[in-house]
Structure formats: structure tokens, C-alpha cells
Amino acid sequence: MTEPAIDLSPKVSDEVRRTTCYMCACRCGINVHLKSGKVTYIEGNRDHPVNRGVLCAKGASGIMQVTAPSRLRAPLRRVGPRGSGAFEEISWDEALGLAVQWLGPLRATAPEKLAFYTGRDQSQSFTSFWAQNFGTPNYAAHGGFCSVNMAAAGIYTMGGAFWEFGQTDWERTKLFVLFGVAEDHDSNPIKIGIGKLKARGGRVAAINPIRTGYNAVADDWYGITPGTDGLLILALVHEVLKAGKIDLDYLARFTNAPCLVDEREGEDKGLLLRDDLGKPLVVDRATGDLAPWDRPGIRPDLGATYQGARTVFQHLAERYLSPDYAPEAVADRCGIPAARIRQLAAEIAEAAFAEPVVIDQPWTDFRGERHDQMIGRPVSFHAMRGISAHTNGFQTARALHVLQILLGAVEVPGGFRFKPPYPKPAHAHPTPHSYFMPGRPLDGPHLGFPQGPEHLALKLDDLSPARIDKGFTWDNPLSAHGLMHMVISNAVAGDPYRIDTLMLYMANMAWNSSMNTAETMAMLTAKDGNGDYKIPRIIYSDAYASEMVAYADLVLPDTTYLERHDCISLLDRPICEADHAADAIRWPVVEPDRDVRGFQSVLIDLGGRLGLPGFVTDDGRPRYRDYADYIVNHQRRPGVGPLFGWRGTGDEVGRGAPNPNQLNAYIAAGGFFTAEVPEEARFFKPWNRAYQDWAVKIGFYDQPQPYLFQLYCEPLRRFQLAADGFHERQPPDHLRARIKATMDPLPIWYPPFGDEAGQDYPLHALTQRPMAMYHSWGSQNAWLRQIHGRNPLYVPTDVWREHGFADGDWARLTSPNGEIVVPVAHMAALNPRTVWTWNAIGKRKGAWALAPDAPEATEGFLLNHLIDELLPDEGDGRRWSNSDPVTGQAAWFDLRVRIARVAPGDVPGGEAQPAFGALKSPVPPAPKDRP
Amino acid sequence: MTALPPPSKKKLGLVIDLDTCVGCQACVTACKGWNDQGYGAPLSDMDAYGSSPCGTFLNRVHSFEVQPEGAEAQIIHFPRSCLHCDNAPCVTVCPTGASYKRAEDGIVLVNESACIGCGLCAWACPYGARELDGEAGVMKKCTLCVDRIYNENLPEIDRQPACVRTCPTGARHFGDLGDPESPVSRLVAERGGYDLMPDLGTAPVNKYLPPRPKDRDRGAPALAPLSDLKATGLAGWLDRLLEKI
Amino acid sequence: MHPAPSVILFTTLSGAGFGFLACLSLGLLPATGWAAFFAWGLAYGLAVAGLLASTFHLGNPQRALRAFTQWRTSWLSREGWASVTTLAFVAPGAAEAVFGWPTGDWTRVTGLLAAAMAIVTILCTAMIYAQLRTVPRWHHWTVPLSFLSFAAAGGLILAAPGAYAALACLILGAVLMLQFDRGDRQFALAGSTLAAATGLGPSVRPFAPANTSPNYIMREMIFQVGRKHALKLRGLALILGALLPAALMLTLPSGPVASALAFASYLAGAFAQRWLFFAEARHVVSHYYGQV
């Protein structure tokens, strides 16, 4: 018999439209195939700088997001009690009219009574611009409950951080050390990189309590006890220092290691010695004379002393050579044997120094010295929420950067590299702005990097917090991303003041984005003595019927990512890679089939209706038609706009007049634009003249700004000095000791704040997102929910045995804040004192257009119920925020619990507890089968 | 048709690197997406938003745990799809001839217009590679993207299975395992690629590359202190250190 | 394996039906007229009902005729041919018995052929299962033996109630005990392990499923039955399928009443055994799903 004839060359689609994925924050390029106007297939764009053609599980499932039954259909006005889910659909005119009716008077009388927080950090330059022109100081994105420790520590230390601001030199690194990274940030580039590295025979070391994902393919795994990463890192610092396995030349030239520290008692103690122009001073080895750090021709001396002042390097060595940081001293607390710590240190040192990477590319540094080659240390590091979501996360991230710098492995071949527009040191960033007046824009950008107490966001009159989230206050002075997780509880408590309207975008605060979910739901519906809601009005924008929708008074339905314009801009978080600057757009590759609008366009519309400066013309008419119009025509500085490609007449890069054809040029090119970093400028960027000149040319900044890496972080010391009484702004007395202890200018480790109260809770509890759902809204996705539709609590072997667990069992998990009853599963590749689960699989009944008996709603669960945004009272009558004391980052991973077995028959209702009533769905029930 | 053809010279298949697969499930949904609109009936999802969704997938990724003696436990991610066996039992059991192995390249396919949906081929497959579609009632399986790999409407570089094209870590390799000189055959030879359930005599074409040994001290030279800190103090250490410049 | 009612009905009813047809074709029940009509009708009915039941588990039954094409390789296809051939060879004998059409010696020839083909049919049915190396419990000579024993017992109960039928039932009982015993060892004997399924060494264990929601493979091939439950059902199969019918055959006077009672018991036992036949059978794919 013959084989059937099959068509081996079927037509793939009618048309391919290239845009940018938004199934997570990775921003890969995608080819969207259409047949008869319908999306039929999504694949990665091979030309795209982020993903080079590959695509993750979420990206390929985007088609299910665009057809999800949970998509909102029209603006909604609440008609039942808040939280019930009872809404009526209204027109956009009514919806926008209502919003203006609420917001207009606020702006005229008390703009701070609007709190506008966005769950998305991207398009932040636009949303913050809107909030700034509205005049409220109360704006931030989700960084505060995500990874601000990482971002702030990186920028204060090196002028750049992991993920969007930097990457491993995947082509050249030999050892990649991964700290606390689950399947998160930079998902496809890290996967591509690990694949390349392994194919080349390079190695991966993973430090993580949980051995999944990237940690599973690591050649060496260190199952560290949560919250002790800083201690391990400082032990590694101890080991490499003791053996002298550090890059002295690099430290002397490019870091503040040779800078002299003022050791005289008084208001300058611990600050760097400076010359009259304010430049830190070093001693030149050649002459033995004092010189400003950037003087051409000098060779700074690491071992110098000058009139009793020693260098940063000596202070650093003195601290970390102490036996307190010896592997033996930290091993028990870290849960890693001293021998393995030594082994890791030896591997790192060998990778860094046995075989340097050499590129025959001459370059010139900022002191004018010409180097024949680029020589690098092929050891690279990456870290993310695992080390940063602790109350010691900022100092831990600082410690990691100090280790990288001591090895000379930053901005060198084989090491960690910045992505344009980084490097950019903290002092080149804005400082926070918070001065508001009725009817006026804010005095500047909300978020920034304070250099000292003078930059705190305190009201001028009574020095009380200016921001509703108490960002940039003595509680958390360097809260560079704000504290979204504190907004609702502060607003309900009226502390520091009451607000009128809470406006949220894509932030599921009534569920998985809040600590203490049940309490947050209660706060969102809390009423005062008059029977009015304590948060009088809530406006929410989301594309889907999320849990938060039910708690809004007015819902502005957003589009899906294939139905909208977006720009991934150099003004906020672009898609650059180390070798090129790049930005990208999204554009409507299909038109919405519902009465929905992109949220940014809605903000443009509202800005016009409210008459916000920047959104209206001089004669008061709306300035922009929609977000697409803004993307093309807005100029932040003359000639510099949201997109940097095809400016002016179409051939100008970086700087140039708005080009009306700019979006078409992006669309024709696949949705993105790249500009190569010149060969000579690719490494040593903070100190490389060629890079600095290129950065000015392309518009990142207006003049070269070389700087030194800050092993010693002076802004922290300024807060310590204030706590010692040396500043006109003084912290409240109850915070003095903590500021002195935690804002050390050299990295320190201290136990996470919950530890003491957690003594009766012997286990650590963690969450991570599965790769197939990381940073996405996947539960209503017909494909992804089949992969992850329920989440067990994974229990390590000893605990499993000790409690007599068996397959099919459940557990009662108790923290100082509450208890949950959840299904369990055994895992051996796990720190022996840690339990964990996949986050945000659990959904509330009635949400996301899922059936009320969907496994997500009956067996899926959140750990959030166990976490409080406040720490328990430790006898001082105060409840401190469960946040890093430096940045305010939410300390999700400090959670301590105890566990008890629950037989399957004893589970109330057979459902994960706590169980909540079903929300009334704002969308019709989903069809049963697909297609 | 259900008689197996004589062994083909060309044996197209996949080589899956268990050392590199991070379990991201990208191949699972890329496969689902392509084949939902490609060869044969769409891959349905029954009860898609309900309590017990049951969809057709041609490729699934499991996770296993291994506990080496005296070392840390490991998690291994394990993609599983049709292995396009040389001696495919799913083909010979088929009563209608719908199941067949292509004589030219060894790809095992289902001619859906001849499939009665009896399920016997799925019973005969040891690897769980065949799933009866709940909506179409026909047997679905990995086609090795036969409608991609020869597709002249696709650029040459894209003529590979959707799972391979999308795999972010490059843990999936596609090629001719009948040619000992092909890159995939060399990879199998270098890395000790192996068959699943070899005793069943199915002679799978697809091979798996084992995870490399992990958590072993590779003998990086131990770090020796520059000086005896207790004896010399910081100053002595600094002197020794700065001599190096 | 999932014990689907359609396949349980198919194998039990067609087994008894073809067994009965074989007995009738061999002239073990010399009836004529209405009695013959009911006897042959019952036999045909059982066989055809079984065959029809088998189509209920097809995804596309409208294409069922295609199943006749692959007799060279497929036991399922062969079973189709064998059953149709059997039914055709049975026809002359049936016509002679019911309508009294004189066909001479031809019916003896076709009768013998019909009986032989009925046995072939039953063997083909059994081989659909016994051929599968993926289900070690089935991949054993006791499976065709048990299918044949069932057919013989059922056929003899209906066609020749009495000592021979009782003997057939007792043989069936013995075969079942043997099949249970051997079946229990097959999975281990086949060397089927998760280590072989994954190549990951002896310490491998399942960690997380590929999908948290069920799929076709899990629903079709992974079925777990409690050990206590299985033992009870084995007892029921033995007692109802073999011992009680044997006792009835030996104690009750031969005739339709004895046959009806014994056959009812036999059928109940057959259902229990066949349900277990599927429910106890472990497919090697279950390794991947961690449910062995």
C-alpha cells in the first residue's frame, strides 16, 4: 500500500505581524500569525535582540490570553457592596465622566488624595509623568514589593543592577553563579545564556534553598537556609580576601577602594575625604601626594594612609578578614558545610584568575590612559528576589556586588555587563520629589535615589511623611521604587493621612499581590463610623476579571497585549543588551472585539479632560489623540522622546525631532530598533571614554559622567550620621538605633527581622513562580492552567518523615499571622528547614471566569495569608513594617512557619483553607470546551 | 500500511538534553500552538475553564527527583513525546492503516481520515506519546512537525519542529539519526545518548542525553592565606598583598 | 487500564456468544423450530451485541469498516474478519435448525468451520490484549486461555447444561486462579521500572507531574484499584463465574431454567473478572505519571 499524500508545504498564515510579547516582563519579540484576521499562531522573532527566536511557555500560549473568557468587555460601575462583584456595564463616556467628576476636585484642592499605583513597572515613565502632572506625590509601581533591594543596591554600588540593567557575558563567562533566582526576571535570556554556557562546557553554581528550574541544571547546588545569603557571600569575601584572590589593579583604578575615609570625630566621620570641588581624594602611588580620584595619570594607592585616614580598602579588609566571616563561623547558620563554602570560594577564584579573558581591543579610560587589551574575569553572578525579598536584602545585594567588584568581574569580558542606558550611578539619577500644591504639578519625578536625609520625602512643615506609602522616610530612606504593599493599610489607618481615591493598574491587591490577603480584602471594604468606605473610591484598570476587579467602584477595562500600543522605552525599562541599545513597541495586531481601551490611552484622555499640564496644548485642548500619538510626539527633553529610533526625518538615532512615521518604521522593522555599541565601547563602560562619548551622542545623558564603583556607600553613612545627631533632619528616636545598625556603608549581615518572633516557627516558607506562569496572568489560560492548576506545599525529607506525611496528605501551616490548610508533596532537593509552593496558582472562586469548582479555587492556595505587612510587636508597642529597613522592600521570604499533618478526611470541605465565598463574575460563564 | 516499512536510511528524530532542560514547558505550548492549527484536527481542550480540563498535548514535560548516594538530591526535567520508533508497536496494531511509519524518513504519523479512534495504538505505545482527541475522536501524536520541516513556505532556518525552534536553552536537537555523521548522531555518541525502555524492543529513534554528574568537588586549588593573619595582623597581610602590584 | 463498560461488554458478551455459536454449530444443542430460533438467536445476539458494544468506544465509529483492511498485521482487524467469517459459516446451520432447510452434509462442514472460526475469533479478541508488551499482565498465554475458557463455559452452559458444562466451569475456575497468580508477577518479571523508563538510575522517583489536570493517557491507562477491593472481585469472579454455575449445572436438572440461572451467574462473574482484567492491568506508561 502507498502512504497517504500529505501536504508538506501548507501555507502557514495569511500574514505575520511582529510585535512584543507581554505574557511576562521579559519583552521578547513575537511573530503573530493571522488567518482571516484571527490570531492562529505565535512564535519567537528570530531577529529580536531579547529572545533571538525562542519563546517560553507563556509566550506561545498568548493566543489563549487573547481569547480568554475572563476578558472584561466594557467599563463597569459597582452596583452592589464593594467586594461582591456586582456591577453594571456603562459607556466609556459615563466612565470617564465619573472619573473626572472624582479626580477633578481632588486635583484642585488636595492632589495627594489621589494614590495612583501601577502593578507594571513598564511604561512607568509615562504613568509617572501623568501622576506628576496631576500633582500627587503618591505614585509608584510594583518594585517595592518585587525587587527594589536588588535595583537599589546595584545602582548605589555599581550604577546598574541585574536584569534590565545588566547581564552576564554569556559568550565568555566560565562560571555562572546564581543566587536566589527562581524562574524569574530575564527569563528567556537567562535560559538562552545557560544553554550556551553549558554547550561551551561552562559551569553553573546555584545558591538556592530550592533546586528547581535553573537550579536543577546547575552543576553545583548549595541549598542555603533562606535569609542567610549575605552571610555566605561575606564568607566568600573573607576567603578571597585572605588568599589575595582579588583584582587589585581594577580596585585601584575603577572603585572607591583607594578613597580615603575621614576618621576624625564629628559630622564628617566616616565620609570620604574630598577636595574643594567635592571630589573624593586618593593617594597617588607614584608621588605619594593627595589627588582627586579622576586626575589624569595617577595610580591610586589601596594601602595609603593620610593623616590617620585610611583607604576604603583597608576598612573593608579589616572588617571581612575577621574570623566572624570565616566559613566555620557561618556554616551552621547558612546550612552549608564550611568545606563546601571553601570549595565554592576556590571555584570562583579559579574561574576568575586562572584564565583571564583577553580581547585584543584597545581602549582609553577616563584618566586618559590607553589600554592595549580588554582583560576580564570570566566569573559572573546573577541574583533576584531570593536574596532581595528579605529584611536584610539590601545589604545582601550590596554584599554580592562587593564580591563581584573585588573579583574585578563587573563590566569586563567574561563577567557581568551593563545594558545601556546603564551604567548610571545613583548620583546621576533624580532624587525623590514630593512637594505638592493644589492645582499644580509635583515639583519633579516621584522616585529617585536620595544621597542623604535632605532628600527624604518629608513634608516641609512638620517633617511628617509626604507619601501615603511612607516612601523615602526614616522607616525606609532609600525606597527607590515606593512601597505599593503599604498603600492600602496606610490609607485605611489614615496614617500618615487619609486619601480619597485609590487608582490601581494591573495590581491584584485583593489577592496574590498583597501580603495578608484576607485582611486586605477587609481593609478594602472597611467603613468608618458614618458607614462610608475608609478608602472612599477605588478606580481599577485590568484586562481580565481578576479578584481585584470586585473591589473597585469603577473598572476601566484594558485591552490584551495584542490589541494595544505600548512602548518599551529607553526612558524607563528598555530591551537593551550589553552590545546595543534597543527599544520596542507593541501595536494592535488585532482590533479588540469588546468595548475596551488601552489604559495608557485612557490616561491620555483623562489627562486632557482634567487639563493636566503636558496633556493639553497651550489653549487647553487635548495634546495627544491617544497613546500612539504620545509615543511619537512627546518629548521629555528637546529631541529626546519615548522611542529613540527613526527620529527626525527618519534617520536620526537617539536625538531628533518627532517623526510622524516613526511607528510605521518600527512596525516595518519588526517592532524594535537597535543601535550597536561601538566595539571600543563595549566593556569598562563607566570608565571608557568611547562609551561615555557614545552615550552622550545617543542621548542617554548630556555630558560624559565617569564614576567609581562604590564599595563604600556614602549615602548610607549620611543616614547613620543623622542618627548620631549630625544633620538638621533628625530621625525619630525609636528609629535611631536601627538606622545606625542597618545603614552601614560597608555590607553587613543581620538576621531577618522576623527571626526572633519566629522562634516557635522552625521552618522557612517560600514561594516562587513556575516558569510557565512567571510574571503572567496564566490561570485563566486554557493551556497553562492544565500544566499548573493546583499547587502542593513541598516538604523536605526530614520534615516529611518526622510528621509521618504520606502522598495525598494535607498540612496545617501556621505562622505568627495565621494558618492555612493545604495539600503537601515530598521533595528531597530542598533545604531541610524550608517548605515552599508555587505562587499565585490559587484563585478565588468566581474570579478569572473559571468554574467555581476549578482546582485553582479548591486546592490552589496562597502563602500570602500567612504574611503580614507588619511585624509582630516585640514589646516596644510598635509594629514595624515587614520590609527592608533601607529600601522598604516587602520581605516576602522572611516567613517562618510550623507544620502539622492533616489527614485528607479532616480537611474542612476538602478544600484548601482559608476558603472565601464566590465572587459574582463580571463576565459571562466560559464556554465548556475549546475550540 | 500498518506493516512497518523496511528500515529507512534517514531516521529523523529528536535528541533531548536532560542536562540542560530547565523544565520551562516552552516546547509543550509551542507544540500545542503549532499543531492546534497545523497537521490534522485542532488539539482540543475539553472543560477548558472548568474543574477538570483535559486537553490534547503532543509533548509533555515531567519532573523526576534522583538521590545520588552521599550527594545532594537532584531534580531532572524530562520532556516526553513520540520517539518515532524503528519498531513502532503503535503502527502494527492499528486495524485501519491510519497509523503508519513513513518509508522515507521514519516519521510515525496518523492518517486522521482513516482513524476510527479505537485507541489501541495508544495502548501499544509504552511512552504515552499518543492522545485521543476529545473533540475530533482521532488519535493525535507528534508529527515531528512534518508540515514544518519540509515546508517551502517557511524560511529554511525555520524548517524544524516547533518545539526545537522555541527551546530557550537549546536542550532539543532535531536531525537525522540514521546518518552517523550528523550533528545529532555525534552528540549522541559524545554524550552517551540512550533509549527509553530499551527492553521493549521498540528501537526508538529519539535519544536522551543524560545529566552530567553534579555536586562533585572538581579539585579547584584550595585558597591559601597570604599570611598568617593572627601572627602578622592586617598590616602584614596588606604588605604581602600589595607586593603583587 | 480504565475498565470501560464498552470493552467489558464487548469481550464478555462476544466471548459467550461465540462460545455458544461454536457449541450450536457442533450440534451440541439439537433443537429445531422456535427452540432453535431462540437458541441461535441468543447466540447471534450475544456475539453481535458484543461486537456492537465495541464500537461505542470508537472516536469515529462511522469509519469502522476500515478496520477490516489490516488483517495482515493487526489482531483487531483479524478479529473483525474472524467474527464476520464465523457469523457467515454459522448461517447454514442456523437456517437448517430454525427453518428446517435441508442442506445435507454441507452444514456439517460449515458447522465445523464455524466452530473453528469462533475459536479463532475468541483467540483474536484475546490477542488484542495479549500482544501488548506495554501491559505486562496481559502479555501472557493465560490471557487467550482464559478467554477460551470463558467462551467454552458460557457456550456449554447454554448449549449442553450438565456435567460437561460443569467441567468447563471448573476448568475456567482453575484457569482464572492461574491467570490471577501469573498476572500478579508479570509487571515485575517484565523488568518494567521508572529507571528503565527514564534512564535516570535506580534512585529516581516522580517529583511533579507534567500536568496537574488529567489527560487522555491518565484517564485511559492509569487506573488504580484497591487491593482489598480487587481480592473481593476475584472471589466474586471465581464464585459467580465458575463455582456457582458448576454447582448449578451439577445439581439442577438440565434444561432452560438451569442454563438461565447458571448463565446469569456466569455472566455476572465474567463482568467482575473482566472489570478487574482492565482495572488491575498496569500500563508501563504509568511510570511517567508516578502511579505504579
Write A760-763 long-range contacts (CB < 8 A, 24+): A760/A898, A761/A814, A761/A815, A761/A816, A761/A896, A761/A897, A761/A898, A762/A833, A762/A896, A762/A898, A763/A799, A763/A833, A763/A834, A763/A835, A763/A896, A763/A897, A763/A898, A763/A899
Range of the domain at B79: 12-209
What's the start-to-end Cα distance of chain A, in Å? 34
Instruction: Please determine, for residue B70, whether its predicted confidence score (pLDDT) is greater than 90.
Output: no
pLDDT at residue B217 in the model: 85
pLDDT at residue A564 in the model:
96
Question: Model's pTM, two decimal places?
Answer: 0.96
Quote the pLDDT of residue C282.
94
Which of C207, C212, C215 is facing A788, going by the closest CB pair?
C212
- ipTM value, please give it: 0.96
Closest CA to A172 of A15, A379, A442: A379
Proportion of chain A above pLDDT 90, given as a percent: 92
- Contact across the interface for A786 and C211, Cβ inside 8 Å: yes
C139 to chain B: nearest residue by CA? B124
Helix (H) or strand (E) holding A721: helix A714-723
The answer to whether the Cβ–Cβ distance between A786 and C207 falls below 8 Å is no
Residue (of C267, C236, C245, C273) closest to C166 by Cα position: C245
Q: List the single residue in C207, C208, C213 with the smallest CB-CB distance to A786.
A: C213
Cβ-based burial of C112 (10 A; exposed 0-12, middle 13-18, buried ≥19) = middle
Tell me which residue in B52, B138, B197 faces C60 most closely, judged by beta carbons.
Answer: B138
For residue A650, the 8-state DSSP code is T
CB A571, CB A121: distance < 8 Å: no
Q: Which of A287, A286, A293, A294 is nearest to A259 (CA)?
A: A293
Contacts 24+ apart (CB under 8 A), A85-89: A85/A549, A85/A550, A85/A846, A85/A919, A85/A920, A85/A921, A85/A922, A86/A920, A87/A555, A87/A922
All partners of chain B with 3 or more CB pairs under 8 angstroms: A, C
Which residues in chain B have their CB less than 8 angstroms from residue A342's CB?
222-223
Partners of A788 on chain C (C-beta within 8 Å) are 212
Chain B residues whose CB is inside 8 A of the A55 CB are 26, 30, 166, 168
Number of domains in chain B: 1
Q: How many whole angstroms separate alpha carbon A511 and alpha carbon B126?
A: 43
Cell numbers for A433, please give them: 520629589
CB contacts of A790 in chain C (<8 Å) are: 212
CB–CB contact C212 A827 (8 Å): no
Residue C213 to residue A827, Cβ atoms within 8 A: no
- pLDDT of res. A840: 87
Contact B169 A221 (CB under 8 A): no
- Asked if residue B218 belongs to a domain, the reply is no
Q: How far apart are CA A777 and CA A549, in angstroms?
A: 14
Cα–Cα distance measured from residue A149 to residue A134, given in angstroms and rounded to the nearest whole number: 28
pLDDT at C269: 97
Instruction: Tell which of B2, B123, B196 to mutate to test the C interface (max C CBs under 10 Å).
Output: B123
In a domain, B105, yes or no: yes
Kindly report the length of chain C.
292
Q: What is the pLDDT of residue C31?
A: 83
Confidence at residue A187, expressed as pLDDT on a 0 to 100 scale: 85
Phi–psi pair at A806, nearest 5 degrees: -135, 160
Q: What is the dihedral of CA A840, A843, A848, A851, to 10 degrees?
A: 140
* CA distance linking residue B122 with residue C220, whole number of Å: 9
**Interface residue B136 vs chain C (CB under 8 A):** yes
Q: Which residues contact A475 (CB under 8 A, 6 or more apart)?
A: A735, A880, A881, A883, A885, A888
Asked whether the beta carbons of A393 and A149 are under 8 A apart, the reply is yes
Share of chain C above pLDDT 90, in %: 86
Q: How does residue C110 score in pLDDT terms, banded at 50, 70 and 90? A: very high
- Residue of B44, B77, B90, B118 to mutate for C, most C C-beta atoms under 10 A: B118
Q: Give the DSSP letter string of C5-56.
A: HHHHHHHHHHHHHHHHHHHHHTTSS---HHHHHHHHHHHHHHHHHHHHHHHT
| Nearest-CA distance B214 → chain A (Å) | 5
Residue ranges of the alpha helices (H) in A455-541?
A: 487-493, 517-524
Rounded distance, CA C53 to CA C74, Å?
20
pLDDT for res A871: 82
Which of A1, A786, A790, A853 is most worth mutating to test chain C (most C CB atoms within 10 A of its CB)? A786
Tens of pLDDT, residues B138-169: 999 999 999 999 999 999 999 999 999 999 99
Averaged pLDDT for residues C144-154: 97
Residues of chain B positioned with their CB less than 8 A from the CB of C200:
18, 64, 66, 76, 78, 210-211
C139-148 average pLDDT score: 97
| CATH code of the domain covering residue B200 | 3.30.70.20
Query: In chain B, what residues touch A188 (CB-CB under 8 Å)?
Result: 168
CA distance, residue A787 to nearest chain C CA (Å):
4
- The answer to whether residue B223 sits within a structural domain is no
Residues present in chain B in total: 245
- Around Cβ B189, how many Cβ atoms within 10 Å? 11
C-alpha distances out from residue C84 to C75, C78, C154, Å: 14, 10, 20
Residues of C in contact with B126 (CB under 8 A): 133-134, 197, 284-285
Contact of B210 with B18, CB cutoff 8 Å: yes
pLDDT of residue A777: 65
- Residue C199: which of B55, B115, B196 has the nearest Cβ? B196
**Which of 811-830 (A) contact C at CB < 8 A?**
825, 827
CB-based contact, A787 to chain C, within 8 Å: yes
The string of pLDDT tens digits covering residues C243-283 is: 999 999 999 998 889 999 999 999 999 999 999 999 999 99
Given B18, B64, B120, which is nearest C76 (Cβ)?
A: B120
C-alpha cell at A29: 519579540
Question: What is the spatial distance between Cα A891 and Cα A147, in angstroms, rounded to a whole number?
Answer: 10
CA–CA dist A547, B108 (Å, integer)? 46
Spatial contact of B55 and B48, defined as CB atoms under 8 Å apart: yes
For residue B1, the model assigns a pLDDT of 55
CB contact under 8 A, B52 and C214: yes
C-beta of residue C86 within 8 angstroms of C-beta of residue C21: yes
How many C-beta atoms surround the C-beta of residue A531 within 10 A? 6
Determine, yes or no, domain membership for B52: yes
All residue ranges of chain A with pLDDT < 70 are 1, 184, 757, 776-778
Mean pLDDT of B211-238: 90
- From CA A918, how far away is CA A913, in angstroms rounded? 14
As a whole number of angstroms, the longest Cα–Cα distance in chain C is 72
pLDDT in tens, A671-723: 999 999 999 999 999 999 999 999 999 989 899 999 999 999 999 999 999 99
Q: Taking CB atoms and an 8 Å cutoff, what residues of chain B touch A60?
A: 26, 29-30, 32-33, 166
Closest-CA residue of chain C to A784 = C211
- CA-to-CA distance for A142 and A50, rounded, in angstroms? 23
pLDDT given for residue A780 in this prediction: 85
**Identity of the amino acid at B186:** R
Query: Which residue among C61, C209, C285 sits closest to B116, beta carbon to beta carbon?
Result: C61
Strand partners, A640: A637
Q: Does B112 map to a domain?
A: yes
Which of C21, C39, C49, C15 lies closest to C116, judged by CA? C21
DSSP-derived secondary structure letter, B116: -
Spell out the alpha helix ranges (H) of C56-105: 75-99
On whether any CB of chain C is under 8 Å from the CB of B210, the answer is: yes
Give C132 to chain B, closest Cα distance, Å.
Answer: 6
Strands A834-838 and A763-768: parallel
Residue of chain C minimizing CA distance to A829:
C207
CA distance B223 to chain C (A): 35
pLDDT at C74 over 80: yes
Q: Which whole-number Å values give the CA distances from A360 to A173, A370, A804, in the listed order?
A: 17, 13, 62
Of A243, A782, A858, the CB nearest to B48: A782
Find the residue in C nearest to A790 (Cα): C212
What integer pLDDT is reported at residue A870 of this predicted model?
85
Pick from C70, C72, C212 the residue to mutate for testing the A interface (most A CBs within 10 Å): C212
Cα A480 to Cα A280: distance, rounded to the nearest angstrom = 25
